[in-house]
Structure 1
Amino acid sequence: MIKWLLAILGLIYFRIPGAVAGFLIGTLLDNYTRSTGGLLSGLFGEEKKQSVSPGDFELNLLSLCALVIKADGQVSQRELDYVRSYFVSAYGKERANATFRTFNDVIKSRELSAYRIAQYLAHRTKYPTRLQITHFLFGIAQADGTVSTAEAKIIQEIAGYLRISRMDFESIKAMFLKKSAESAYKILEIEKSASDAEVKKAFRTMAKKYHPDKLGHMDEAYRKGAEEKFRKVQEAYEQIQKERGM
């Protein structure tokens, strides 16, 4: 890729000698890029992500679930049931039961590293998927009725390692707070002082970002989560519309 680009540029600016030099330099850069895991690929296109197998994805997702469930120092049965319900919906009862036999060991583990797990997923999943993981973790935290300070803190830490932007994190977090004018603006990632035109633009942007079609490659449970997130965006916009008389 790089060698042909530089060869063309060399030909344009320096004719045949430039094309030859560009090809040779590009070949060296291509070889270096492969040997360093694609460090230069960002200059010439999006870095190719490594893939993650369904089994590895499940195990790492379970580990993140365990970190959230244990964050406040107690293991809530309602939070466990929330996770089980997700896996039953996603994979069926038989596979969910097999997965949960592993989950019991994960819950008891003291060796879980939020950084290691989230970094692994960050390098192997697309951004919309990581947004949905963050949403799912907040769903677990709220399953017992409230998101504790400790739970919100560990989710924020995980979201950072997943490379979720601050504004996206605050938007998702606001979806799990008590409905208010302030949370509606946070969901749309705008200030309360935003103009009506800016509110409309923000809604279109957020609706596009959280559209369920972006998770068409994921399982049914994740698509349902995306639909819930999309609905929250619509509700926030409608609330602002009502308050402003738009």
Structure 2
Amino acid sequence: MIRWFGAFVGYMLYRFPGAFIGFMLGSLIDNMVGNRGKGGGFKQVFQQPSSQRVTPADFELNLLSLASLVIKADGNVNQRELDFVRQYFVQSYGRERANATFKVFNDVIKKREISAQNICALLRQRTRYESRLQILHFLFSIANADGSVSTPEVNEINRMAGYLGVQLRDFESIKAMFFKNPDSAYKILEIERTATEAEIKKAYRTMAKKYHPDKLQHMDEAYRNGAEEKFRKVQEAYEQLQKERGF
């Protein structure tokens, strides 16, 4: 982005005062370029009125945009799914900020075509892998808010997972947390039914480490709660296999 280049050049010439001036000038250029583009960058897509008292971050708007695609995936906009998303945003960001996010989304973004590929590409660049896993868990939670996850919703989330750079095994692990069948525990732990006792124990340690809530301490409370839910599902899967295998 031009603002960071400007800050770098300014710092090289005039140290910190120059970095500040370069950043401000670069920001101005970024905004001008964004406003000229048609559906180009997120700056232009997520631009909001300067009078807005609470300013939603790009991340919140990106997340809400992906949520809207999942909700519409099966052609049925379910009220329970909408309520889940609103409650999640209120819990994460507070009512005032959540309302501001929904307002910008409804006034600006909802009226344009939302590109899951572009949004996920940006999130892939700017978020850690464990955060992207939590995004998938959030999207599945939305789909499950009405009591079941439909095939079109699974396909939509699977498409987003690919754009986010999430490995198929991790996608299947999170997906299995929302489907009860004889293979669910194995899929959550990312192992085959033929796995030995030693392999099950090793898989549990690996998955418990991958999904440990401490990995999301940098994120909001709602995300940390979601991480705890994933961690609990891993524990439940392991305990189920312990009982089935008798170890």
| Number of the residue aligned with 2:237 | 236
Please give the secondary structure, in 2, of the residue aligned with 1:189: coil
Please give the secondary structure, in 1, of the residue aligned with 2:89: helix
| Number of the residue aligned with 1:27 | none
**Structure 1 runs (4+) greater than 3 angstroms displaced:** 103-110
- Asked if 2 retains the 8 angstrom alpha-carbon contact of 1:215 and 1:223, the reply is yes
| Number of the residue aligned with 2:164 | 162
Matched, 1:182 2:189: no
| C-alpha distance in 1 between matches for 2:233 and 2:107 | 35
TM-superposed deviation, 1:103: 3.5
- Asked if 2 retains the 8 angstrom alpha-carbon contact of 1:181 and 1:240, the reply is no
TM-superposed deviation, 1:99: 1.5
| C-alpha distance in 2 between matches for 1:61 and 1:206 | 25
TM-score (norm 1): 0.76
| C-alpha distance in 1 between matches for 2:114 and 2:107 | 11
TM-superposed deviation, 1:140: 0.3
TM-superposed deviation, 1:95: 1.4
Percent of aligned pairs with the same amino acid = 72
Matched, 1:75 2:80: no
- Asked if 2 retains the 8 angstrom alpha-carbon contact of 1:62 and 1:106, the reply is no
Deviates more, 1:193-202 or 1:82-91: 82-91
| Number of the residue aligned with 1:120 | 122
| C-alpha distance in 1 between matches for 2:88 and 2:191 | 31
| C-alpha distance in 2 between matches for 1:151 and 1:108 | 19
Mapping of residues 95-174 of structure 1, within 5 Å = 95-105=97-107, 108-109=110-111, 111-174=113-176
Q: Deviations over 1:42-61 (max 9, x none)?
A: xxxxxxxxxxx970101111
Report the AA paired with residue 229 of structure 1. Answer: K
Gaps of 5+ in 1: 1-52
| C-alpha distance in 1 between matches for 2:140 and 2:82 | 13
Q: Deviations over 1:162-206 (max 9, x none)?
A: 00000000000000002x330000000000000000000000000
| C-alpha distance in 2 between matches for 1:176 and 1:208 | 20
| C-alpha distance in 2 between matches for 1:127 and 1:108 | 27
Query: Which structure has the bigger radius of gyration?
Result: 1
- Asked if 2 retains the 8 angstrom alpha-carbon contact of 1:66 and 1:106, the reply is no
Matched, 1:218 2:219: yes
| Number of the residue aligned with 2:89 | 87
- Asked if 2 retains the 8 angstrom alpha-carbon contact of 1:181 and 1:239, the reply is no
TM-superposed deviation, 1:107: 7.8
| Number of the residue aligned with 2:48 | none
RMSD: 1.5
TM-score (norm 2): 0.75
- Asked if 2 retains the 8 angstrom alpha-carbon contact of 1:119 and 1:162, the reply is yes
- Asked if 2 retains the 8 angstrom alpha-carbon contact of 1:130 and 1:164, the reply is yes
- Asked if 1 retains the 8 angstrom alpha-carbon contact of 2:70 and 2:157, the reply is yes
